[in-house]
Amino acid sequence: MPKLNNFKAVATALLFSLSAAVQAGQSCEGSEIEPLELMNSLELALKTQTALQQAGAETAVIARVGQDLSQYGLRYSHLGLVQKQSDGRYTVLHELNECGSEQSDLYVEGLGNFFLDDVHAFEVLILLPPAQVQQKLNSLMQGSLPRNIHHKKYSMLSYAFATDYQNSNQWGLELLAHALSGESLSDRASVQKWLKQQSYQPGIINVDPLKRLGASVFKANVSFTDHPLKSRLKGQYQVVTVESVEQFLLQQQPKTKRMVLTQ
């Protein structure tokens, strides 16, 4: 019985944190969580927490498989920034689209919640930068910068080098850039300029004209208007993907440790 009670206590801590965002980023149609899904989410969260603790992580980048993106050559759909709290728990700070609208917000939640949100496969990518980068990122996450660089107007396919919209991975990359640069970057435009100077390469998402038309008409959280005309004519969109963030982080900090955990 003590072991069961201990698991329940740990599971509760992993599932709930500073804010509850169970429906954030979803369609908000209100569906019940299946017991197996809940169990798998909590077990993956426990594995993630254990791995972070064993690595002595202060902060980290984690990513989930929220949807099947294999047709675009992608595995991971959404990243968040993990931060160790004073009581030893790890929480996730990330941007989430609000119910399929053109709006987004920032949320802090437990690891359990992170793996409950629109999960396609129970798998997590963990990226652990060197200690000095983790410390810088931790300091930034405790201040006003995450909110200051957040742009509420959301597009799933926002152009990586424009400030009209922002998607979740773009927000994460732009915050990470502040920790990596060692420079004073005043706004989103200066961050994107620095990323270009550092040869950051966005992911390329190919969308044919019919799919683009359907998305433009029926989905409030997708826009193509911020992309250069040349890209739109080709149907090739430069977007911040998890894989492009991983590649850039490893380019900037080759000693970054990479882990993949599955359930």
CA pair distance 113, 115, nearest whole angstrom: 5
Beta-bridge partner residues of 206: 236
60: confidence class by pLDDT, cuts 50, 70, 90: very high
Alpha helices in 127-187 (DSSP H): 131-142, 145-148, 168-181
Beta-bridge partner residues of 136: none
- Which pTM was predicted? 0.88
CA pair distance 188, 209, nearest whole angstrom: 30
* Residue in 253, 235, 161, 259 with CA at minimum distance from that of residue 201: 161
216: confidence class by pLDDT, cuts 50, 70, 90: low
pLDDT digits (tens, 9 = 90+) for 147-179: 999 999 999 999 999 999 999 999 999 999 999
